[in-house]
């Protein structure tokens, strides 16, 4: 059986850690691509990771490269390239610079791996995945963004911490844009099958929801010199696994919604079935009045962000 070929674009903290998770899970052979100041950096990281395989007991071919030649014919491409958030910086502050970076990366993917499924991680996520779709021209099902898995993981972590229970027993869902306007859904949150609203008072639950919304900023403020990478990379690996193993995972991703939820052609976080075809189905939930209002607000913020990006790039 042929191993999947996984390319990770960007050998910084998120990219290198994504490669680490994917290799340790034996999801396929991995190409780590970057165009850094130090030419051999991605090769060094890939070799170092490969040399850990006899110790940790995984089999994967891992190579580093400074061009896309090695990545040709990839099954999955994870795009982590871009400048990271710094203290005092919002995801939106990254818009202009990262839009240009993602545009260049998407052109390379289009040429080298025309049949790949692309997972975009670069921020601001909802605009960057839209830009990847614009440049590659791939079917929308094969271009998606990693946000919901990470955001849900943060939400689940904080609930487990609050209740003193295993994170494995917390099941949750959230929707909307990646950032301040994300919409955690208490109506779809359970702990061991018990609705979270029966376990946590509404005011306290709202505080937890707000902490999930601010999860990325909290890490940035603590690190001072960078942004989160362990959890974002783990989220990427879960999505890669769902694709290469055709697991049909029902998880939240930034997916292209047209008629779905009445979005009208933008990427927003929604529950999807993720398998070998990419986004194989979008699940449309019946939202409460407040959840629908919050979701509409989040979609409006995404549309505004994409409009700003298009304006900066001279797109209509």
CATH of domain 5-145: 3.40.50.720
Say yes or no to pLDDT of 315 above 90: no
| Mean pLDDT of the region 169-193 | 93
Q: Is 190 helix (H, G, I), strand (E, B) or coil?
A: strand
Q: Which residue has the higher pLDDT, 227 or 199?
A: 199
Quick check: bond before 124 cis, omega within 30? yes
Radius of gyration of the chain (CA): 19
pLDDT digits (tens, 9 = 90+) for 12-28: 999 999 999 999 999 99
Say yes or no to pLDDT of 37 above 70: no
Say yes or no to pLDDT of 90 above 70: no
Q: What integer pLDDT is reported at residue 38 of this predicted model? A: 62
Question: Residue 86 — pLDDT band, cuts 50, 70, 90?
Answer: low
Q: What integer pLDDT is reported at residue 91 of this predicted model? A: 58
Active site residues: 178
Q: What integer pLDDT is reported at residue 248 of this predicted model? A: 98
| Mean pLDDT of the region 216-244 | 95
Q: Which residue has the higher pLDDT, 211 or 312?
A: 211
| Mean pLDDT of the region 38-64 | 94
Say yes or no to pLDDT of 70 above 70: yes
Do 5-145 and 148-306 show the same overall fold? no
Quick check: 301 and 127 in contact, CB under 8 A?
A: no
Q: What integer pLDDT is reported at residue 10 of this predicted model? A: 96
DSSP structure class, residue 250: E
Q: What integer pLDDT is reported at residue 92 of this predicted model? A: 64
Say yes or no to pLDDT of 58 above 70: yes
Closest CA to 285 of 252, 247, 254, 256: 252
Domain 148-306 class, CATH top level:
alpha beta
pLDDT digits (tens, 9 = 90+) for 127-170: 999 999 999 999 999 999 998 999 999 999 999 999 999 999 99
State the Cα–Cα distance between residues 185 and 288, nearest whole angstrom: 9
Cα dist from 202 to 120, 158, 164, 209, whole Å: 34, 15, 18, 10
Q: What pTM does this model have?
A: 0.95
Q: Would you tell me the crossing angle of helices 41-51 and 13-24 to the nearest 10 degrees?
A: 30
Q: Where are the domains of the chain?
A: 5-145, 148-306
H or E stretch covering 272? strand 266-275
pLDDT digits (tens, 9 = 90+) for 277-310: 999 999 999 999 999 999 999 999 999 999 999 9
Q: What integer pLDDT is reported at residue 312 of this predicted model? A: 85
Kindly give the pairing relationship between strand 249-257 and strand 266-275.
antiparallel
In sequence order, what DSSP letters do the residues of 56-106 get, joined into one string? Answer: HT----EEEESSSSTTTT-SEEEE--SPPP-TT--GGGGHHHHHHHHHHHH
| Mean pLDDT of the region 23-43 | 90
- Residue partners of 304: CB distance under 8 A and separation at least 6: none
Quick check: 149 and 249 in contact, CB under 8 A?
A: no
Q: What integer pLDDT is reported at residue 313 of this predicted model? A: 87
């Amino acid at each position: 059986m042929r191993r999947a070929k996984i390319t990770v674009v960007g050998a910084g903290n998120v990219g290198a850690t994504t490669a680490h998770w994917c290799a340790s899970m034996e999801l396929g052979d991995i190409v780590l691509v970057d165009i850094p100041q130090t030419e051999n950096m991605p090769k060094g990281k890939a070799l170092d990771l490969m040399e850990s395989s006899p110790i940790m007991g995984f089999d994967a071919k891992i190579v580093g490269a400074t061009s896309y030649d090695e990545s040709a014919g990839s099954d999955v491409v994870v795009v982590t390239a871009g400048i990271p958030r710094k203290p005092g910086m919002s995801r939106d502050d990254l818009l202009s610079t990262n839009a240009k970076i993602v545009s260049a990366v998407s052109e390379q993917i289009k040429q080298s791996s025309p049949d790949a499924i692309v997972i975009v991680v670069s921020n601001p996520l909802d605009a960057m995945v839209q830009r990847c779709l614009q440049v590659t021209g791939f079917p929308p099902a094969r271009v998606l963004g990693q946000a919901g898995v990470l955001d849900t993981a943060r939400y689940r972590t904080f609930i487990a911490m609050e209740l003193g229970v295993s994170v494995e027993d917390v099941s949750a869902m959230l929707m909307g844009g990646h950032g301040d306007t994300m919409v955690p859904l208490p109506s779809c949150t359970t702990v061991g099958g018990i609705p979270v609203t029966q376990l946590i008072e509404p005011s306290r639950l709202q505080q937890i929801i707000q902490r999930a919304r601010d999860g990325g900023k909290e890490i940035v403020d603590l690190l001072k010199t960078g942004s989160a990478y362990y959890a974002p990379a783990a989220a990427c690996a879960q999505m890669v696994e769902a694709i290469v193993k055709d697991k049909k995972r029902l998880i939240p991703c930034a997916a292209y919604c047209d008629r779905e939820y009445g979005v009208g052609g933008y990427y927003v976080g929604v529950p999807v079935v993720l398998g070998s075809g990419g986004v194989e189905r979008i699940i449309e939930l019946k939202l409460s009045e407040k959840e629908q209002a919050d979701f509409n607000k989040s979609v409006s913020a995404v549309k505004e962000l994409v409009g700003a990006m298009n304006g900066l790039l001279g797109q209509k």
